[in-house]
Amino acid sequence: MSPIAAVASAEAAAKTASSNLSLTQDGVTLKLGDVFYDGTRLSFSIEREGKNLPDGVVSLYIPMDAKASESLKKYMVPEKDHKKGYIKRPEILIDGKAFKSFGSFGDKVSKKNTVQAEYNQLGSLPDEFEMTVQVGVTRISKPFEFKVPVKKDGNMVSVKPNKTQKSGSFSYTVKQLDITSHTTRLVLDSEGQVPASAKQTGKFAPSMMYYDIIDDQGKTLQQRKAGFFYSKPKTKYHIDELYSAIGSKPQYVTIRPYTFTVDPTNWSIVGQGKGADGKFKTGDKTYIKELEMKIPLND
């Protein structure tokens, strides 16, 4: 059996380290659930229950002594005036030591009164560990503390092609492609000036380089998060991004680099915004054909 087939045969449902854990303080109940770790992603959800809680779940309050723009100063509210029941960004401990990682934290769209935390800059986490989640709630003095054993989903396959593609002065090297039953992780380094199309000259310019992953059936994997920084592209990037799962038994994937067309006066994406149909448009992608790279996935 190929390594990809082994991944595809994993259970469709995420393996969680524990069923929901529940704690209650001062009329507010938090439940920790959906704990998942596969070597590329560590994630969990926190559900909130209680009476007379605010409609929002995530706390938007910022410290009174924070350096904030005028538009954010409305969130600088003394603690005694906070509404009760907002969930603060959690602190994570791994085997008792602080876990410092870039991650996302916000509302879980698919479940009301629930937040989702997800981390993908994992460093060298062991295959098994105890995770402590300390999460504060506004107007409750003591943080909620959950402790849960976590075990890595053992179906990850890692491909390290160390392959480079070049166009003009720009090049990128794919260092690693991690494949699990739930996640695809792409790690690469790039350097050089991003190539510009005919439309990206004069009053317009290209953005930094982005990367689609296409399976051998032509399906584009969904990128979990594509950051945009409203600034001139740098000439060196280290990319470590998560995408949706590849699916069943692909022979290869294709990396398709692309840029957006931007306005250098403010580095905004041309064509981004609400379209005539009322749907949000991300802007047109300009693919660079000569930078495409095919990566075999089977032995």
Per-residue pLDDT at 8 exceeds 50:
no
Buried b (16+ CB within 10 A) or exposed e, 24-43: eeeebebbbbbbbbbbbbbb
CA distance 159 to 251: 13
15 vs 136: which has the higher pLDDT: 136
Summarised one tens digit per residue, pLDDT across range 177-233 is 988 888 898 999 999 999 999 999 889 999 999 999 999 999 999 987 777 777 889
Pairing of strands 285-287, 273-274: unpaired
Q: Considering the chain, what is the average pLDDT of its residues?
A: 87
Q: What is the predicted pLDDT for the residue at 245?
A: 87
Mean pLDDT of 158-178: 95
Gap between the Cα atoms of 185 and 216, Å rounded: 17
The CATH code belonging to domain 9-151 is: 2.60.40
- Spell out the domain ranges in the chain: 9-151, 157-296
Least confident of 5-9, 101-105, 251-255, 276-280: 5-9
* Percent of the chain predicted with pLDDT > 70: 92
What is residue 224's predicted lDDT score, i.e. its pLDDT? 78
The pLDDT value recorded for residue 19 is: 46
Q: Under DSSP, is residue 7 helix (H, G, I), strand (E, B) or coil? A: helix
Per-residue pLDDT of 59-78, as tens digits, reads: 989 888 888 777 777 888 88
Residue 74, pLDDT score = 81
Fold match flag (9-151 vs 157-296): yes
Instruction: List, for residues 75-104, the tens digit of each pLDDT value.
Output: 888 888 899 999 999 999 999 999 988 788
Phi/psi at 119 (5° precision): -125, 135
Give, in words, the CATH class of 157-296. Answer: mainly beta
